[in-house]
Amino acid sequence: MATPLKARPVQEMAPSGGYKMPAGKFARYQPKQRMSGAFIFGAVTAVVCYGFYGVGQGNVRRRALRHERRERRAAIIPFLQAEEDFRYTQERAKQLDVEKRIMQDVPGWEVGKSPFNSGKFMPPGDTNIIG
C-alpha cells in the first residue's frame, strides 16, 4: 500500500485474535513407516552384489569364448601355413621362369641365386616382377 509523502507509514497487521483455522482440515498426517533405512540399505546391497555376480559370470563366459576362439585359430594354423607354402612355391617358380627369360643373354648369370652372400635363406619381398 502506498503511503502519502508526509503521513506516517501504516503497517498491515493480522486481525486481532489471529487468523482462524478450520478445525481438522490441517491436521498433521504421518503415514506408517513401511521400510526402515537398514532394510533399504540391505536391499540396495543385495542388488549391487547380484549385479557384480552377473558381471563376473559374464566375464567367465567371455573368457571361455575367447579361449575357444584362440584354440580354433591355433588348430588351423598348420593348414594355412601349408596353403601359403604351396602358393609361395608356385609364385617362386613363375618368378624364376621370368628371370631366366629376361637374363638369358647375360653371361654368367645364375637363375635364382641370391644377391646376398650371407648364406641364410631370405625370402624375397612382396615385389612382383611379373607385372
pLDDT category of residue 119 using cuts at 50, 70 and 90: confident
Task: List, in order, residues 6 or more apart from 88 with CB less than 8 Å away.
Answer: 123
Q: In this predicted structure, what is the pLDDT of residue 66?
A: 97
90 vs 11, residue with greater confidence: 90
Tell me: pLDDT of 116 over 50.
yes
Tell me the C-alpha distance between 38 and 44, whole Å. Answer: 10
Instruction: Provide mean pLDDT across the span 80-107.
Output: 91
8 A C-beta contact, residue 62 and residue 54: no
Res. 30: pLDDT tops 80: no
Residue 120 region, left (φ>0) first, then alpha (ψ -120 to 50), else beta? beta
Residue 7: pLDDT band (50, 70, 90) is: confident
Say whether pTM exceeds 0.75.
no
In the chain, pLDDT over 70 holds for what percent of residues?
A: 84
